[in-house]
Amino acid sequence: TTGLAQPEFIGGQYTVGNDDESGVDGPAVQIYSSGTPITPLIMSSPDLIGSNNGCGNNAGGKPTVWVEDAFIEIDDADIGVGDYGISLRYSSGSVTNSEISVNCNGIDIYSLKSVGQIDYYNTITGNEIVTTDRTPITVYGGAHSFIRDNDLSGAGGGSGIAVFSSYAEITNNDIGPIGGWNGLWMYGSFDVIAENNTIFDTNREAIIAGEYGSNAPAPSASRAFLANNSISTSGQGTCTSSLHFNGQFACPAVMAYRSGLTMYDNVINSGGESDGIRSIGALLDIRRNTWNADGSGAVIKHYDSGYAGDQQYGSLAFFSENIWNGVGTTYNITKSSVTVQSESIPSPPTGQFPVILSWPDQEAWPANGFQNGIIPTDVQECSNCDNLTPRNFPLALSMDNNSTVMTFAGLANLDRSSISIQTQPTPYAVQVRRAELVKFQALVNGERVQGASILIEDALGNDMYDIDTLSDGYTPWFALPSDFHLDFRGLGGGDNPDGFADDEFEDSCSDGIDNDGDLVIDADDGDCDYTAGTRELSLYRFTAYKFGFGLDSGQFTLDDSSYQGTANLLNLAPSVSITQDQGHSFRKIVNITGNAHDGILASFYPSDEMAQWDQKGFVHSIEVRDPFTSDWSDAQLATDSSGSQFGEVTSSNHPFKEWYYELDMSQMAEGDYVFQFRAFDGIDYSPISTISIKLNSQAPTVSVNSPSPFSTHSDDTVTFEGAAYDYYGCPSQCGKDISEIYFQIVGPNFQVVTPVSGGTSWSWTWDFSGQPRVVADYTFKIWASDSDFCNGVIDECAPAELTLTIDNSNSAPFMSISEPKESDRMPVSEESVFEGVARDNDNEVTRVDIEVLDTANGMIEVHSESVIEFDSNGAFSSTWDSRSLRHNSEYQIRMRSYDGFDYSEWKSVNVIADNPPDAGNRQPVFDQSGWVESVTLYCEENSQSADRCTTFEINLLDFFTDPDPNQELILSVYDDEEIASDDEYPVVISISADGVARYNPTSMAFFDPEISGWSINDVVFVASDQFGSKANSIPMSIEVIAIDFQVDVPQETRISEDEIAIFSGIGLPGRTVTATIGGIPVNNTVVSADSTWTMGIPGSRISSSATPQFMYGGLEYDGSKITVSDPSSSATSFLAIIVIVVILGMAGFAYFFIEFEEDTEPEPEHNYNKNERPHEDESRFIKDDDHPGWLWDTEKEEWVEEK
């Protein structure tokens, strides 16, 4: 099977066969890339028949079932014949309740199956596996397996279970008899847990942790944990190691080689003359085991490669509460460090010693660079590799590099006189350390702490133990040296050295160690006074710590008795903070957020370990006392939103790094509420953090007093007045939270939402003068907003609605033509005259458009212009050069007026041109000197004014000339018939008779409503004489930029009385911008050619503070509020305003009630206004279209009435 197939095979017989056609020989079943973690491929009760060729390399034996890169479950399989049973490679699954009888390996498990970041393992359960030659179960290549409840036997040339560089949990298996080698064979970098197994009748070592044979791979960091197993061997097997044991020796029950081995509560039976356990450079933790052996109990030695200069590795071992039966020498220790406590040492046979300590090499000391020194074996292959320190290992991973050391405490039937020292007579080659039993209790706030780490250091800071407290808060008893004994040459009081460290003065005053940390050694230490019966006692320091509980440290001095100490852990209280500020406003649902941490929190941690050390715990919960909870015992709990797992502290995250507490208060009255928070780290509470919040549970309401619904309004404005109500602040300050009043206005092609300043009483005036000049109904929705409701949208508010009729209609202007008259024969001239009268009933005429059309040539426009200056009675006059008109040709002259909103009807007259022709002709000439190839114009984007754009004009006769005297050129815009993009250019660009070409971008609106399409590119002008000779110009491009009027925030909004607030912005070039304060003009300026403007408002014109309004194009825009810092200026400005108001009042009174005697001889009408103005230079007074009837005095910087 392959391709993620997920079949279920029930029963059936599968036989290893041969494909006669292809000659391919393979397993009975081959499975590739099949199954999924949820739906594996299943084989139930298959009958499998394999090959029977043998196990040799060339024998041709095949696996009966081959599984690769698949998920599979095999149950109740029967393999009665076969070379190899089942091979699981890069796969995950199970083999259960099966019977496998094969020649070679029963089940091979190689590596594991991974999907993404998830690893999947294998389970081998309830099987009976018998092999003739090889191993029933092998686990290798980084596999991860669970091997349970299996019966494994045979293995004439193999072991029961082989684990190579893999992880395996081996439980409740019967392993044996094994005819070849070991019950459990572990080598490479393995990590194995073996519990409740029965291992028996093995031909070699029942347990081997690390391969020591000559062909074995190099030692790697590894460990095994054995508990509650029954282990037995006949002891008849012979093992060999010339390197480590000088040849053959009886195979022990257990062999540990350069690995970590933990053994708890096992029963070991080693027959013949075999030893219980042998160790070569291993890490041993051996507790509560029963050893039945006729040889030595424990043979513990170092690893030596045999090559000079290579590092040697001593065994580091801890033995406690073991039972030794029938052994000769209980401990035979060479170049290693062993601690033994709480045991009864059997008496050895005559001529033997219960304990032998040896250092067979030369002394390791500074003079020879500690050559032949020893260190513990490695527990990590690399800095990022797994740490394979033996589980629960109590000792620090260190040892004296120049001594064989035995530390003992609480041993029955053993004293120093029975410890044989077998070494050269060097001072420090062997140390016998008499120890005392010590245990520590860890408490926090008087409560016992389980799992607290107790680190013990000697007086010089060397680590001795790292041991954890048990469920009762106490550590197990452990041995700490209280006296140090050397078999020292030259000491008095005995025959030294004599092979024993039991003579007078062989104690801590002659051990070469500073035991009490006072930097004075042996006899130089004042504590060494034999006459007083004192000696140097051992000082130890402890550090107790448990993450989440606290830290404690201290020291104690150990005398010749056991010691019990107490570590009172000091816990750092957690901290909690709230994100929101005091008075934060919530709408119905209160959602308070914050941060919390335990201990000390830094802004950055380079590693998880640094974060855990600083914080020393984690926040378990955050309690909340809301306004409705009177006691902390009834407190609510906040929610952890950090994404961290409970108890997980990393460099970037921890529990309750972010948290929130949510409470639905939609049914509660609006007001201020107090919440209290405190964090709990399992031990202590943080200080209480308190926040007062503002609750908004109801939307504000609004009422409108005026205007009345369905009323009609003209005169450009309508004023709204009304009231608003909000419950927050009641009963004394109802409505204090009201922020703005919103108006939603909907009319013809118009919709806007406008906020205005609000309060319990409000008023606002809408200026609708900019709306279309029609009578139309507008719908108004008005609502109030507060901190949380209806800001910019209606939301839950109930708006007040009314419909008003807005009369903003406009009367179209009208006009008449005075000159020329219909059917006149008009002599051509440089100063031909247009005259007429244009008037408007409700506005002012702003422009008259004049066009001259050639009726004989399809009404082609030959001249156009606009008049913008009018007399008070509407009369206008303009001169033009008509010499280009053809002799005896008919032309139509038409005119229309414009009032800013509407046009009048066209008025027209037809005339005959009188222009006799001249003779002779030469081609016109174009001179490009001074020619402009690019022009920039500006248009107001949101304006309905006919003057919304700047225009461009150029006198083409400055560039085109006719060399023939008295010849008139005909100027036009070139239209290339090959392209369509310039078809509109002759229409939108007008050329007057005097040679001036004009472009008003608004003329493009007919073709493209978007300003972005009003730019024209590569316009070519053509000059023709009357005989058809032509000359073209260089192309010209005109860019049109859309703008909106803009008032920028000034750099300084607080000025002194003698300073000037500088305002600037953007507008249409040539337009006037007028600043007013309180309706009084204070300054004006004209927008510059680049569309920017700047204006200063003196501080002297501002009373305390004011928000200037800027008049532009008939509309008013708000500027930024300006504050004058000099308080005395307020009164001055106020008096100035009063004086202006009084003057204006007097002027109005005089205008209406004082009669003036008129001169009997009327003056000419066109001179009237000029003669009535002040006699000063007219340039001093500036007229502004936005302020009719007023002039700006540029010297006095004030407005004066126009007379």
User: Is residue 1189 a contact partner of residue 1169, using CB atoms and an 8 Å limit?
Assistant: no
Proportion of the chain above pLDDT 70, given as a percent:
92
More confident residue, 207 or 958: 207
User: Is residue 373 a contact partner of residue 403, using CB atoms and an 8 Å limit?
Assistant: no
**Is the pLDDT confidence value at 850 over 60?**
yes
Instruction: Describe the chain by its helix, strand, coil percentages, rounded to 5.
Output: 5, 45, 50
Model confidence band, residue 916 (pLDDT cutoffs 50, 70, 90) = low
What pLDDT shows up at residue 888?
74
Task: Please give the CATH architecture assigned to the domain spanning 814-914.
Answer: Sandwich (2.60)
Identify the weakest region by mean pLDDT among 257-271, 435-449, 1167-1181. Answer: 1167-1181
What pLDDT shows up at residue 760?
92
**Is the pLDDT confidence value at 1203 over 70?**
no
More confident residue, 1198 or 716: 716
**Is the pLDDT confidence value at 1174 over 50?**
no
The stretch 428-444 carries a mean pLDDT of: 94
Kindly list the distances between the CA atom of residue 526 and the CA atoms of 236, 529, 534, 558, 559, in Å, as whole numbers in the listed order.
58, 7, 9, 17, 17
Could you count the other beta carbons within 10 Å of the beta carbon of residue 469? 24
Kindly list the distances between the CA atom of residue 46 and the CA atoms of 2, 43, 82, 227, in Å, as whole numbers in the listed order.
19, 6, 14, 36
Report how far residue 1187's alpha carbon sits from residue 1202's, in angstroms, rounded to the nearest whole number: 10
What pLDDT shows up at residue 501?
84
Mean pLDDT score across all residues of the chain: 88
Most confident range, picked from 9-23, 122-136, 1087-1101, 1174-1188: 122-136
Task: Please give the CATH architecture assigned to the domain spanning 701-807.
Answer: Sandwich (2.60)
Which stretch of DSSP H or E encloses residue 832?
Answer: strand 832-839
**Is the pLDDT confidence value at 1014 over 80?**
yes
Is the CATH number of domain 425-568 1.10.443.10? no
Model confidence band, residue 274 (pLDDT cutoffs 50, 70, 90) = very high
Contacts with 388 (C-beta within 8 Å, 6 or more apart), sequence order: 189, 191, 221, 222, 223, 260, 379, 380
**Is the pLDDT confidence value at 1132 over 80?**
no
User: 366 exposed, middle or buried (CB, 10 Å; 0-12, 13-18, 19+)?
Assistant: exposed
**Is the pLDDT confidence value at 1116 over 90?**
no
Are 425-568 and 1046-1134 the same fold in CATH? yes
Length of the chain in residues, anyone?
A: 1203
Task: Please give the CATH architecture assigned to the domain spanning 1046-1134.
Answer: Sandwich (2.60)
Domain-wise residue ranges, the chain: 1-156, 425-568, 575-696, 701-807, 814-914, 925-1041, 1046-1134, 1136-1201
What pLDDT shows up at residue 489?
61
Q: Which tokens is 620 given?
A: 């378990």
The stretch 649-661 carries a mean pLDDT of: 96
**Is the pLDDT confidence value at 649 over 60?**
yes
| Per-residue model confidence as pLDDT tens digits over 142-163 | 999 999 999 999 999 999 999 9
Model confidence band, residue 1147 (pLDDT cutoffs 50, 70, 90) = very low
What pLDDT shows up at residue 5?
83
What pLDDT shows up at residue 505?
76
Report how far residue 832's alpha carbon sits from residue 992's, in angstroms, rounded to the nearest whole number: 13
Q: Which is nearest to 621 in space by CA: 678, 691, 675?
A: 678
| Per-residue model confidence as pLDDT tens digits over 467-518 | 999 999 999 999 999 988 888 765 666 666 788 888 777 788 888 888 898 8
Instruction: Tell me how many degrees the CA angle 683-687-692 measures, rounded to the nearest 5.
Output: 135
Is the CATH number of domain 575-696 2.60.40.650? yes
Residue type, 661: Y
**Is the pLDDT confidence value at 1153 over 70?**
no
| Per-residue model confidence as pLDDT tens digits over 294-329 | 999 999 999 999 888 899 999 999 999 999 999 999
| DSSP category for residue 956 | G
Instruction: Tell me how many degrees the CA angle 835-836-840 measures, rounded to the nearest 5.
Output: 150
Identify the weakest region by mean pLDDT among 359-363, 916-920, 1139-1143. Answer: 1139-1143
Kindly list the distances between the CA atom of residue 547 and the CA atoms of 171, 604, 608, 612, in Å, as whole numbers in the listed order.
32, 19, 13, 7
**Is the pLDDT confidence value at 885 over 50?**
yes
CATH number listed for the domain at residues 925-1041 = 2.60.40.10
| Per-residue model confidence as pLDDT tens digits over 686-737 | 999 999 999 999 999 999 999 999 999 988 899 999 999 999 989 888 999 9
What pLDDT shows up at residue 919?
42
124-127 contacts: CB < 8 A, separation 24 or more? 124/94, 124/95, 124/96, 124/148, 124/150, 125/94, 125/95, 125/96, 125/97, 125/149, 125/150, 126/96, 126/97, 126/98, 126/150, 127/95, 127/96, 127/97, 127/98, 127/99, 127/100, 127/151
Provide the CB-side half-sphere exposure for 335 (13 A, CA).
27
What pLDDT shows up at residue 1143?
45
Contacts with 831 (C-beta within 8 Å, 6 or more apart), sequence order: 879, 880, 881
The stretch 23-42 carries a mean pLDDT of: 89
User: Is residue 178 a contact partner of residue 234, using CB atoms and an 8 Å limit?
Assistant: no
What pLDDT shows up at residue 1156?
40
The stretch 209-213 carries a mean pLDDT of: 91
Q: Which is nearest to 304 in space by CA: 296, 312, 294?
A: 312
Instruction: Tell me how many degrees the CA angle 411-417-418 measures, rounded to the nearest 5.
Output: 60
The stretch 394-407 carries a mean pLDDT of: 94
What pLDDT shows up at residue 493?
60
More confident residue, 180 or 518: 180
Model confidence band, residue 1190 (pLDDT cutoffs 50, 70, 90) = low
The stretch 281-293 carries a mean pLDDT of: 98
What pLDDT shows up at residue 344?
97
What pLDDT shows up at residue 1187?
58
**Is the pLDDT confidence value at 1134 over 60?**
no
Is 0.95 topped by the overall pTM? no
**Is the pLDDT confidence value at 1140 over 90?**
no
Report how far residue 24's alpha carbon sits from residue 912's, in angstroms, rounded to the nearest whole number: 113
Model confidence band, residue 1182 (pLDDT cutoffs 50, 70, 90) = confident
Task: Please write down the HEC assignment for all residues of 848-893.
Answer: EEEEEEEHHHCCEEEEEEEECCCCCCCEEEEEECCCCCCCCCEEEE
**Is the pLDDT confidence value at 1141 over 60?**
no
Q: Which is nearest to 569 in space by CA: 447, 392, 438?
A: 447
**Is the pLDDT confidence value at 337 over 90?**
yes
